[in-house]
Amino acid sequence: MHFHIEQILELRGRTYVVVTALDDAPFAVQLGSRLGGVPVEPWLEQPRSVGPGGELDRHCFVFVLTTSQDAPRLSPGIDVALQYHAPQELSTQEGYDRWSEIYDEEFNPLIALEERETPWLLEAVQGKRVADVGCGTGRRSLAMAAAGAQVTALDFSQGMLARARAKPGAADLRFVVADITEPLPLAEAAFDVVTCFLVLDHIDDPAALFSELGRVARPDGLVLVTVMHPALMLRGIQAQFSDPENGEKLRPRSVPNQIADYVMAAGQAGLQIDAMREHAVDEELSARSPRARRYMGWPLLLVLQMSSAS
Ligand SMILES: C[S@@+](CC[C@H](N)C(=O)[O-])C[C@H]1O[C@@H](n2cnc3c(N)ncnc32)[C@H](O)[C@@H]1O
């Protein structure tokens, strides 16, 4: 599908490209679409200019550039192609094994927001036995151990675990290779705190996992779960990274769980929800990340603070 660029407009910090269609073929702009090689978002408006008799005289569309620094690559008067390469979906395990090579290198606004919104965690785990379920590259497991917790960290991605094990302080942790959709290889009531950070969007049956988190937590123990906000999936966003070799978008398999699924899962697992918070992208986060700016005001993070049955 080809377009002629009519105009490029800057409005309230966003860059809009007004184009007319050169072909009649139907098309769709999805997340991951590129106009002349530049990433564009699904359009917000789809105006058509109208001829003198009221007829539609040409197809005119507005695209939104995802980052304005790409704007100079487009200019009025040129013809460009709209292309879309669907991200390749990998199994969750293979996805994270491959992502592990670069996982810690990119600034991730979701991680930044999560750490900002749970500042009390490190103090709360001092001297406590903690199970960090789906620990990844050990981001929070290592921080909790450094804060004085006795941490057992579980994950099924050997790649992510290898990164975690190579970090300073890793010798103080117990790492366990485990698929957390199976019963956890941990004793009942063995932990004061059970954490599960940014994992649930890969889990088909959150109730089964929550039951296991509750089983291994001591009576009245803290079960703290964070997850990418389900509202993001409504915008087609899910865990994704670019293959450093060729820039291809890759997605570890995700599950479109909704907030209701998590709330119901807690109830079914006998966990009490003591606090549930939704955090949106704000100015502070946008200033740190142009990637986050696109989602200004949109919920990005869900936090569930729960306690196991006493
Ligand atoms: C987005 S990363 C988060 C890692 C870490 N909790 C953090 O917040 O930095 C998701 C992690 O969940 C792990 N994971 C997903 N599904 C899993 C499963 N069924 N069993 C074990 N780990 C799983 C992945 O391997 C990956 O390391």
Residue type at 227 in one-letter notation: V
At 119, the amino acid letter reads P
- Ligand 1: atom nearest CA of 181 is 19
**What's the pLDDT at 45?**
46
The SS3 call for residue 309 is coil
The residue contributing the CA closest to ligand 1 atom 27 is 136
Query: pTM for the full model?
Result: 0.82
Spatial separation of the C-alpha atoms in residues 293 and 12, rounded to whole Å: 12
153 lines ligand 1 (CB under 6 A): no
| Angle, helices 206-216/259-268, rounded to nearest 10 degrees | 40
Say which residue the tokens 């979906």 belong to. Answer: 89
Q: Give the bridge partners for 307, in sequence order.
A: 222, 272
- 157, 195, 199, 253, best to mutate for ligand 1 pocket (most atoms within 8 Å of CB): 199
CATH topology of domain 2-86: Elongation Factor Tu (Ef-tu); domain 3 (2.40.30)
Q: Which two tokens stand for residue 84?
A: 């879309």
Q: What is the pLDDT of residue 39?
A: 79
123 C-alpha to ligand 1 centroid (Å): 24
Q: 109 CB under 6 A from ligand 1?
A: no
Q: In terms of DSSP H, where are the helices of 39-192? A: 92-99, 109-117, 121-124, 139-146, 158-165
Domain boundaries, given as residue ranges, for the chain:
2-86, 89-308
- Please identify every stretch of the chain with a pLDDT value under 50, giving residue numbers as ranges: 45-47, 55-57
DSSP helix/strand/coil, 78: coil
Fold of 89-308: Rossmann fold (3.40.50)
Whether 98 is in the pocket of ligand 1, judged by its Cβ within 6 Å, is no
For atom 1 of ligand 1, the residue with the nearest CA is 198
Tens of pLDDT, residue by residue over 216-273, are: 999 999 999 999 999 998 877 899 998 888 778 899 999 999 999 999 999 999 999 9
Residue nearest to atom 4 of ligand 1 (CA): 136
Contact yes or no for 153/125 (Cβ under 8 A) = no
What pLDDT is stored for residue 165 in this prediction?
Answer: 98
